[in-house]
Chain A
Amino acid sequence: MTTEALTTNAREASLRPFGKPSRLWWLTVIALGLVVLTGIAAWVIQLRGGMGVAGYSDQAFWAIYIADVVTFIGVSYGGAVVSAILRLTGATWRAPLTRLAEGTAVVTVLIGAALIIPHIGNPIRLWELVTRPNLSAPVFWDFVAVMTYTFGSIVFFALPLVPDMAVLGQEHGQQLGRRRTTLYARVSRGWVGAPRQRRVLAGALGLVSIMIIPLAVSVHSVLAWAFASTARPWWHESIWAPQFVVAALYSGVALVILVVAGFRRGYHLEGLITPRHFVRLGFIMATLSATYIYLTFADLLPGSYVGDRGTAAVFTELLVGRLAIWFWMFAIVGGVLPLLLVALPWTRNVGGMVTAAILVVPMMWLKRILMVVGPASYDTVTGVFGRYHPTWVPIAITLAATAAIPLMLMLLFRVVPLLSIDEIEEIEEMQELSDLEKNATARPQTAPSEPAANDDRLVGASDKAHRVAGATGVLLLVALMGMLGIGSAHPAQAATSPSAPAVTLTGVEAGGSVQLTATLTSPQGRPLPAAEVAFLLSTTEFGTPARLVRLGSATTDKTGIARLKYAPKVTGQQGFAATYTAVGAKPITSGTTVAVTVARSLYHPAPAKPLASVGNVLVLALFAIVAAIWLTLVAQIWRVRRVCRVVQQATVGSA
């Protein structure tokens, strides 16, 4: 196929969705639209009735919606991989896929971000994330990361539109219709394809594709940390962030396969998108599948082996308990089968790859549900699992979000070109040049559909069967107690005294403590030795009348004096009392008030965690990084716009 033919093909193919839509197109849009509307209606019902109508309870406080958020933001990673990584590695075969992949990324990240709304109990207050953020909260950084990644995805999607819209607007204006012509002229204003413009655009795109990768990694890492930063079994795992990232890439590549297959069939792009593309995407997917199976194994093995109480309970539930059927379904249908479909030569074709992708996307959603619901429904105090029964409401909302992906893509590609025309043309030109140079040398890939060699080694990873022993040895720390109460039981005796003795209490503050002195005299006025006097503190902290707190007791000496030293806890006037209960008589009490000036409370607040100050520095560093990312992204738009303007002026000036 010559360059010219392919180029014409790419331009013509991009114009196909702009024609009068077919009956099938309308039917699909209406059907998908109805599903989306049902979901919105379900959300309104949930708003009115509360999240209880979605089957949530205190035993399942996070469930399907957060799994949806993770899944939908996850599938947007396909765009990042296919476009950014392949661009950076110079994989030229990506060209016909990039626009579809990037469009999918933008659409799914928007849907994923929107799914936070049904997840939140009080969505009307979501703006508080901006007005009163808690900078130590992972969920706040989720918000920052998702917003930044969304903006990055939009820039990554929008920048390559400039040359495409210029080409279509200038050379195929009559096929565009009035509105698209206006839009295209506005977006591509000034673009003439001058070398300087191309250089600037390539530079900007290169920079954004470098940036989009850490951005994508950051989003799913922070999403994982929203779980991992809690003390819940299975969530509190260091592997969660990388595992989330790989899961996102895995499901993202699968979704790209599905989207590409759908548009290829719908708009007859078989000439541009060949089985070779599917097989290559399939190889990426298989690599990620093997990695994800490995990470899942690594996630589950140590916890099962050691068998902490909570972790063992959750893993037992997951691997052999109530959730086992779902987990093993994921492992086989979502992990091993796709790997086999790619590995076996006779399924390594478009149908096989699409089948694998169809398996992967819902199974990865299922895995996220398991990861959310298992630990969330585990009561960390009792060790009992709560029940979660999703109602039709969250299912309708999830289906609506799913239907919104093709719907939004179909509408999006009514407006923007389906294919990255400029990229295709540029790569074709490059290849033509290199063909001329290397005419003599044999090219490694002559036949497009030739299966690549050595891919059978991918199968090696598939035999990682999970043989996790349910090691559930619970370590119980037995604390032996059994103490006497401090209540003092006075021995009861028979004798009674005819007349009551007297007690007088004095208190003096000296050297940071209060010296309480009780003088006990017999009814005859003589000192009463060897008698136990109780000392009490009077408090009104817990209401009036004042309560008396027993501080301790002392025995009178020969002079009838008992002493107690009390270290006051608070300053100010404090009442004290001394009580003597003669055998068989009513207690006699004497009170005094001491003006305490020096007090020392025994209470010391817990020391701050040593890493709290590091956290402060981290917050500042993160803000600086986020600000730099936004500025850089804006600068790339500004750079491309500027070179359009400058070169146009130069062209006009020279003309």
Chain B
Amino acid sequence: MQSHPTHPEEGGPVGPPSGATPEARRGLSRRNLLATLGVTAAGGALALVSFQDDAQAAMTPAMTAMATKAKASAHAWCMVIDLRTCDGCKGCTMACQQRHGLRDEQTWINVYEMKDAAGGTFNMPRPCMMCEDAPCMYICPVGANVRTDDGLVLVDTEACIGSRACMAACPYEARYFNWTDPLPQKRMPAPSTPQMPVPEKGVVGKCVFCADRLPQGELPACVSGCPMGVLFIGDLVTDIAVNGMGKTVVLSEFLRANDAVRFKEELGTNPRVYYILGHGQNLGG
């Protein structure tokens, strides 16, 4: 059972004192002025106090999410990407685009070609990093990014105003905008949800880890679409990760044994995507 978060009890509407004195309308004495200013100040203070809750809710999404998550959340979804076996086939990208009805250039999971230390190249799939301290959450002017209890950063496309501030803020270039009308959509659930957004002109989109599938015990489209078993979906709470080839591992040991790293660790975003590098490979940034 989930306990309801306690809301501060909201009192009745604080209206202006009824029956404004007619004297006040005539000569405004100094005392009246002071009283008026006092009432205004009190109103301002009330407004401020009522904003304070908003402020706390909006200012520290990480903190509030953490406070609840520490007790409540049953999962902490993450991804492990084993670059040693990625051959750059882009099967993940195609599976994702098909599932989410995306245009070719909207690569929610994008496979970058990177240079390794020996001068060769390697392939690096990049989904949303699902940062625990996500820059996009801070920067969105209307708070259209939501973070689920399970740690998934999702876009509320019903709220997005299309300011693209998140695109500027994302250090991983993981966000894609619907610059024109989306492709004709087939087999989409009628209402768009943050977990399964339906593309819509003028709003931003990004990888959602197939958040609608995870609670059902299904794998994200990219994970099951990877023929090499590169992509693992994992849960930091239960400490288990699986890939599309049926491999199941103890997450913490898998990460430790393979010296997993996170992309742009130095930014302090605490991404939830771990990379296992092959010899000479580095994420360089």
Task: Give the interface of A toward B (CB within 8 A).
Answer: 49-53, 56-58, 61-62, 119-123, 125-126, 128-129, 132-140, 142-143, 226-227, 229-232, 235, 309-310, 376, 379-382, 476-486, 537, 539-544, 547-551, 569-570, 601-603, 605-606, 608-609, 612-613, 615-616, 619-620, 623-624, 627, 631, 642
Contact = CB atoms under 8 A, between A and B. Distances in A.
Contacts of A642: 28
Given A542-B242, A620-B48, A50 B117 contact: no
Given A50-B201, A380-B173, A547-B248, A541 B141 contact: no
Contacts of A136: 58-59, 138-139
A134 B141 contact: yes
A359 B40 CA distance: 48
28 contacts: A50-B202, A52-B180, A58-B167, A121-B161, A121-B162, A122-B161, A128-B159, A132-B142, A134-B143, A137-B165, A227-B168, A230-B169, A382-B112, A482-B278, A485-B257, A485-B258, A540-B217, A541-B238, A549-B248, A551-B250, A601-B239, A602-B236, A606-B132, A609-B62, A615-B59, A616-B56, A620-B48, A627-B47
Interface in B156-210: 159-165, 167-169, 171-173, 175-181, 201-204
Contacts of B65: 605
Contacts of A485: 257-258
Given A125-B161, A137-B141, 12 more contacts: A125-B142, A126-B161, A136-B58, A137-B139, A232-B168, A380-B172, A481-B258, A547-B240, A605-B66, A616-B60, A620-B52, A631-B40
B284 interface: yes
A61 B279 contact: no
A230 B168 contact: yes
A229 B161 contact: no
A550 B250 CA distance: 7
B34 interface: no
B148 interface: no
A226 to B, nearest CB: 7
B66 A570 contact: no
Interface residues on B, range: 35 or more
A541 B178 contact: no
Nearest to B279: A482
B237 interface: yes
Contact of B203 (A121, A226, A227, A540): A121
B135 interface: yes
B282 A477 contact: yes
Nearest to B65: A605
Interface of B: 28, 40, 44, 47-48, 51-52, 54-56, 58-60, 62-63, 65-66, 69-70, 74-76, 105-106, 112, 117, 126, 132-133, 135, 138-143, 151, 159-165, 167-169, 171-173, 175-181, 201-204, 216-219, 233, 235-240, 242, 246, 248-250, 252-254, 257-259, 261, 267-268, 270, 276-282, 284-285
Nearest to A482: B279
B144 to A, nearest CB: 8
Contact of A132 (B112, B159, B249, B253): B159
Nearest to A376: B168
A51 B164 CA distance: 12
Nearest to A606: B270
A134 B69 CA distance: 21
B215 to A, nearest CB: 10
A232 B135 CA distance: 12
In order of increasing CB-CB distance, the 5 nearest A-B pairs are: A121-B162, A52-B179, A134-B143, A606-B270, A603-B236
A547 B242 contact: yes
B281 A481 contact: yes
B253 A620 contact: no
Mostly, the A contact residues are loop
Given A134-B140, A231-B135, A309 B285 contact: yes
Contacts of A603: 76, 236-237, 239
A135 B270 CA distance: 22
Nearest to A574: B238
Given A226-B165, A227-B168, A230-B139, A631 B44 contact: yes
B184 to A, nearest CB: 15
Contact of A139 (B165, B235, B281, B285): B165
A481 B257 CA distance: 11
A342 B258 CA distance: 66
Given A51-B179, A379-B173, A550-B249, A133 B141 contact: yes
Nearest to B243: A542
B249 to A, nearest CB: 7
B142 A129 contact: yes
Contact of B258 (A139, A483, A627): A483
A121 B164 contact: yes
Contacts of A608: 60, 62-63, 66, 133
A260 to B, nearest CB: 36
A545 to B, nearest CB: 11
A120 B142 CA distance: 13
Contacts of B70: 605
Given A50-B180, A50-B201, A544-B217, A481 B278 contact: yes
Contacts of B253: 486
Contacts of B165: 137-139, 226, 230
Contacts of B59: 135-136, 612, 615-616, 619
Contacts of A137: 138-143, 165
Nearest to B82: A485
A605 B40 CA distance: 43
B282 A478 contact: yes
A119 B236 CA distance: 40
Given A50-B178, A551-B250, A229 B169 contact: yes
A478 B218 CA distance: 36
Contacts of A543: 216-219
A480 B282 CA distance: 8
A58 to B, nearest CB: 5
A602 to B, nearest CB: 5
B208 to A, nearest CB: 17
Given A122-B161, A122-B162, A539-B248, A478 B117 contact: yes
A476 B282 contact: yes
Nearest to B64: A608
B278 to A, nearest CB: 7
A40 B238 CA distance: 56
A235 B170 CA distance: 13
